[in-house]
Structure 1
Amino acid sequence: MATINFGGVQEDVVTREEFPMEKARETLKDEVIAVIGYGVQGPGQALNLKDNGFNVIVGQRKNSPTWDKAVADGWVPGQTLFEIEEAAQKGTIIQFLLSDAGQISLWPTLKQYLTPGKALYFSHGFGITYKDQTGIIPPADVDVILVAPKGSGTSLRRLFLAGQGLNSSFAIFQDATGKARDRVVALGIGVGSGYLFETDFKKEVYSDLTGERGSLMGAIQGLFAAQYETLRKNGHSPSEAFNETVEELTQSLMPLVAENGMDWMYANCSTTAQRGALDWWKKFKEATQPVFDELYQSVATGKEAARSIASNSTTDYRAKLNEELKELRESEMWQAGAAVRKLRPNNN
Structure 2
Amino acid sequence: MAQLNFGGVLENVVTREEFSLEKAREILKNETVAVIGYGVQGPGQALNLKDNGVKVIVGQRKGTKSWDKALADGWVENETLFEVEAACEKGTLLMNLLSDAGQIQAWETMKKHLTAGKSLYFSHGFGVTFYEKTGIVPPKDVDVFLVAPKGSGTSLRTLFLKGQGLNSSYAVFQNATGKAVEKALALGIAIGSGYLFETTFQKEVYSDLTGERGVLMGAIAGVFEAQYHVLRQRGHSPSEAFNETVEELTQSLMPLVAENGMDWMFANCSTTAQRGALDWKGKFRDATTPVFNELYDDVLSGKEAAIVIEANSKQDYREKLNAELKEIQQSELWQTGMQVRKLRPQTK
TM range (shorter): over 0.9
Q: Which residue is 1:79 aligned to?
A: 79
Tell me the distance in 2 between the aligned counterparts of 1:346 and 1:117. Answer: 53
Q: Which residue is 1:32 aligned to?
A: 32
Q: Which residue is 2:96 aligned to?
A: 96
Map 1:52-71; keep pairs closer than 5 Å. Answer: 52-71=52-71
- Is 1:172 the counterpart of 2:172? The answer is yes
1:74-120 CA-partner distances (Å, limit 9, x unpaired): 11111111111111111110000000000000001110000000000
Q: Which residue is 1:249 aligned to?
A: 249
Tell me the distance in 2 between the aligned counterparts of 1:322 and 1:110. Answer: 29
1:122-171 CA-partner distances (Å, limit 9, x unpaired): 00000000000000001000000000000000000000001000000000
1:347 to partner: Cα distance? 7.7
Tell me the distance in 2 between the aligned counterparts of 1:270 and 1:32. Answer: 55
Tell me the distance in 2 between the aligned counterparts of 1:66 and 1:321. Answer: 18
Tell me the distance in 1 between the aligned counterparts of 2:63 and 2:330. Answer: 32
Tell me the distance in 2 between the aligned counterparts of 1:288 and 1:106. Answer: 38
1:272-316 CA-partner distances (Å, limit 9, x unpaired): 000000000010000000000000000000000000000011111
Q: Which residue is 2:123 aligned to?
A: 123
Tell me the distance in 1 between the aligned counterparts of 2:57 and 2:99. Answer: 19
Q: Which residue is 2:109 aligned to?
A: 109
1:346 to partner: Cα distance? 1.3
Q: Which residue is 2:189 aligned to?
A: 189
The answer on whether the counterparts of 1:173 and 1:201 sit within 8 Å (CA) in structure 2 is yes
1:316-347 CA-partner distances (Å, limit 9, x unpaired): 10100011111111111011001101111118
Q: Which residue is 2:11 aligned to?
A: 11
- The gaps in structure 2 that reach 5 residues or longer are none
Structure 2 counterpart SS, 1:12: strand
TM-score by length of 2: 0.99
1:58 to partner: Cα distance? 0.3
Q: Which residue is 2:326 aligned to?
A: 326
1:14 to partner: Cα distance? 0.3
Count the aligned residue pairs.
348
Map 1:302-321; keep pairs closer than 5 Å. Answer: 302-321=302-321
1:217-244 CA-partner distances (Å, limit 9, x unpaired): 0000110001001100100000000000
1:268 to partner: Cα distance? 1.1
Structure 1 counterpart SS, 2:165: coil
1:263 to partner: Cα distance? 0.2
Q: Which one-letter code corresponds to 2:41 in the other structure?
A: Q
1:21 to partner: Cα distance? 0.1
Q: Which residue is 1:346 aligned to?
A: 346
The answer on whether the counterparts of 1:35 and 1:97 sit within 8 Å (CA) in structure 2 is yes
Tell me the distance in 2 between the aligned counterparts of 1:62 and 1:236. Answer: 51
Q: Which one-letter code corresponds to 2:64 in the other structure?
A: S
Q: Which residue is 1:274 aligned to?
A: 274
Structure 1 counterpart SS, 2:34: strand
Q: Which one-letter code corresponds to 1:303 in the other structure?
A: K
- Is 1:261 the counterpart of 2:261? The answer is yes
- The gaps in structure 1 that reach 5 residues or longer are none
Q: Which residue is 1:160 aligned to?
A: 160
Structure 1 counterpart SS, 2:12: strand
Q: Which one-letter code corresponds to 1:342 in the other structure?
A: K
Tell me the distance in 1 between the aligned counterparts of 2:279 and 2:60. Answer: 53
Tell me the distance in 2 between the aligned counterparts of 1:62 and 1:227. Answer: 45
**What's the RMSD between the two structures over aligned residues?**
0.8
Tell me the distance in 2 between the aligned counterparts of 1:341 and 1:178. Answer: 51
Q: Which residue is 2:51 aligned to?
A: 51
Tell me the distance in 2 between the aligned counterparts of 1:75 and 1:174. Answer: 31
Structure 1 counterpart SS, 2:151: coil
Structure 1 counterpart SS, 2:166: coil
The answer on whether the counterparts of 1:341 and 1:347 sit within 8 Å (CA) in structure 2 is no
Return structure 1 stretches of 4+ with deviation > 6 angstroms: none
Q: Which one-letter code corresponds to 1:53 in the other structure?
A: G
Tell me the distance in 2 between the aligned counterparts of 1:329 and 1:211. Answer: 22
Tell me the distance in 2 between the aligned counterparts of 1:303 and 1:83. Answer: 33
1:160-204 CA-partner distances (Å, limit 9, x unpaired): 001000000000000000010010000000000000000000000
Tell me the distance in 2 between the aligned counterparts of 1:292 and 1:183. Answer: 35
Structure 2 counterpart SS, 1:113: coil
- Is 1:293 the counterpart of 2:301? The answer is no
1:64 to partner: Cα distance? 1.5
Is the alpha carbon distance of 1:198 and 1:106 closer, same or farther for their aligned partners in structure 2, counting shifts above 3 Å?
Answer: same
Structure 2 counterpart SS, 1:276: helix
Q: Which residue is 2:41 aligned to?
A: 41
Tell me the distance in 1 between the aligned counterparts of 2:63 and 2:310. Answer: 27
- Is 1:205 the counterpart of 2:192? The answer is no
1:61 to partner: Cα distance? 1.4
